[in-house]
Structure 1
Amino acid sequence: MPALEADATFGFDPYAIADARLSPAARAALARLQQTLDRDVRPLLADAWESATMPDAVLDALVPLELMQPEGVDAVEAGSSMFSGFRNYVLARTDVSVATLYNAQSGLFRTAVALGGSPAQAADLDPGIRSFALRGAFALTEPAHGSDIAGGLATTARRTGDGWVLDGRKKWIGGAAASDVLVVFARDVDDDAVKAFLMPTDAAGVRLEQVTGKVSLRPMQNALITLDAVTVPEASRLQRVNGWRDVARILRAMRSDVAWIAAGLQAGALDAAVRYTREREQFDRPIGGFQLVQEKLARMLGNTVASLALVVQLSARQDAGEYADENSALAKMQTARLARETASLGREVLGGNGILLEHDAARFFADAEAVYSYEGTHEINALIVGRALTGASAFL
Structure 2
Amino acid sequence: MPPRATHTSAKAKTAQSSNNHPDLLELARHLSAAEFGRLHEIETYVQENIRQQSVEPWNQEALPVEMLHRLGDLGLGELFTDGSSQLFQGLAHAALARADVSLSSIIGIHNELIVGTINTLGSSEQRERWLPGLKRLTTLGAFCLTEPDHGSDIAGGLATSATLEGGHWRIRGSKRWIGLGTVADVAVVWARDTADHQIKGFLVPTDTPGYQAQKITHKTGLRIMQNAEVELDLSVPESALMPKATSFAATSEGLRGSRAWVGWQAVGAQQALFDIARSYAVTREQFGKPLASFQLIQVALATMAGNLAVSTAFMGELTRLQEEGRLTMLRASLAKATLTRIARESAASARDVLGGNGILSTHEVAKIAGDIDAIFTYEGSHGINMLIAGRDLTGVSAFA
Q: Contact conserved, 1:41 with 1:61, CA < 8 A, in 2?
A: no
Select 2:102's aligned residue among 70, 90, 97. 97
Q: Which residue of 2 aligns with 1:371?
A: 375
2:177 is aligned with what amino acid? Answer: W
Per-residue CA deviations over 1:259-318 (Å, capped at 9, x if unaligned) read 111111111111111111111000000101110011011110111111111111112111
Per-residue CA deviations over 1:56-103 (Å, capped at 9, x if unaligned) read 231132121123558xxx943x2x432221111000011101101222
2:147 is aligned with what amino acid? Answer: E
Q: Contact conserved, 1:9 with 1:30, CA < 8 A, in 2?
A: no
Q: Which residue of 1 aligns with 2:225?
A: 220
What SS does the aligned partner of 1:336 have? helix
Q: Which residue of 2 aligns with 1:343?
A: 347
Q: Which residue of 2 aligns with 1:330?
A: 334
Question: Shift of residue 44 of structure 1?
Answer: 1.7
* Structure 2: distance between partners of 1:227 and 1:121: 21
What SS does the aligned partner of 1:190 have? coil
Pair 1:304-2:308 in alignment: yes
What SS does the aligned partner of 2:219 have? coil
Select 2:22's aligned residue among 9, 12, 15. 12
Larger deviation, residues 199-208 vs 35-44? 35-44
Per-residue CA deviations over 1:177-227 (Å, capped at 9, x if unaligned) read 221100000011111100011011111011110001101111211111001
Q: Contact conserved, 2:263 with 2:340, CA < 8 A, in 1?
A: yes
Q: Which residue of 2 aligns with 1:56?
A: 65
Question: Shift of residue 39 of structure 1?
Answer: 2.2
Q: Contact conserved, 1:10 with 1:90, CA < 8 A, in 2?
A: no
**Mapping of residues 42-191 of structure 1, within 5 Å:** 42-68=51-77, 75-76=82-83, 78=84, 80-118=85-123, 121-122=126-127, 125-191=130-196
Question: Shift of residue 123 of structure 1?
Answer: 5.6
Pair 1:31-2:35 in alignment: no
Q: Contact conserved, 2:182 with 2:228, CA < 8 A, in 1?
A: yes
* Structure 2: distance between partners of 1:8 and 1:151: 50
* Structure 1: distance between partners of 2:362 and 2:257: 36
**Structure 2: runs of 5+ lacking an equivalent:** 1-14
Question: Shift of residue 120 of structure 1?
Answer: 5.5
What SS does the aligned partner of 1:220 have? coil
Question: Shift of residue 10 of structure 1?
Answer: 9.7
Q: Contact conserved, 1:104 with 1:175, CA < 8 A, in 2?
A: no
Question: Shift of residue 253 of structure 1?
Answer: 2.2
Q: Aligned pair in 2 of structure 1 residues 38, 214: CA closer, same or farther (>3 Å)?
A: same
After TM superposition, the score normalised by the length of structure 1 is: 0.92
What SS does the aligned partner of 1:142 have? coil
* Structure 2: distance between partners of 1:276 and 1:163: 59
TM-align CA RMSD:
2.0
Question: Shift of residue 6 of structure 1?
Answer: 7.6
What SS does the aligned partner of 2:245 have? strand
The count of residues paired between Structure 1 and Structure 2 equals 385
Report the identity percentage: 39
* Structure 2: distance between partners of 1:133 and 1:282: 49
1:44 is aligned with what amino acid? Answer: Q
Q: Contact conserved, 2:76 with 2:107, CA < 8 A, in 1?
A: no
**Structure 1: runs of 5+ lacking an equivalent:** none
1:109 is aligned with what amino acid? Answer: I
What SS does the aligned partner of 1:159 have? strand
